[in-house]
Amino acid sequence: MIYFSDVDVVLKLARCGFLPLLPELLGVAPDEVCIRYLASLRSRLSRPTKKLTNADHQRHLAEFCRAHAVIDGAADLTRQEELLASGMDVGEAILFAEAEATGGVVVTGDKRALLAYARVSTKSQRSKLRVVCWEQLLLRMHALRGYATLRQGCCGALGEDGLLSLAFSSGLATEEGHAIAAIESYLRGVEQHSGDILAALPP
């Protein structure tokens, strides 16, 4: 199984300090996980204005890029062009087209890409891939590491993500029930248009 990670979700995980735990969140052993990411993510490493403010998180990002491989383009260019025409950006079109071709899993934090995919994918095409979304990863972190770890990481990235700002609106004083309810609400929104392709993560 190949996991195709978009730039958005990798950066969100990195800013929260969760990126080293991605294999665990996906339910895959670190030495068995196969991840492909877009070249635009690696290019950020050498751009001072794009570096993460937390040095440890920047190091996690560099280690992620070294450990995994870049995907430059989809094998099926016709399908990639169809996805581009739907409103996806180039990177997302590559990831979804290649996931369809390989039976892979797209790991994404981009709801607009999921909505665009819903507009231009048939039942047959959708059956070829699975998706893990940002909300699923947050709930998985909660299940595996507990609320204190989830809250600490998310509160370190409040200005970077609308869901986190809402879910942890009181910062470190945010009550667990409020945060989890907000994340679950966002996930239900994703399920309305993409429930048929969401991957079933381990309990």
Q: pLDDT band for position 1 (50/70/90)? A: confident
pLDDT in tens, 136-193: 999 999 999 999 999 999 999 998 899 999 999 999 999 999 999 999 999 999 999 9
Closest C-alpha to 101, from 73, 140, 138: 73
Contact 114/89 with Cβ under 8 angstroms?
Answer: no
The mean predicted confidence, pLDDT, of the chain is 94
DSSP 3-state of 203: coil
Q: Rounded to two decimals, what is the model's pTM?
A: 0.95
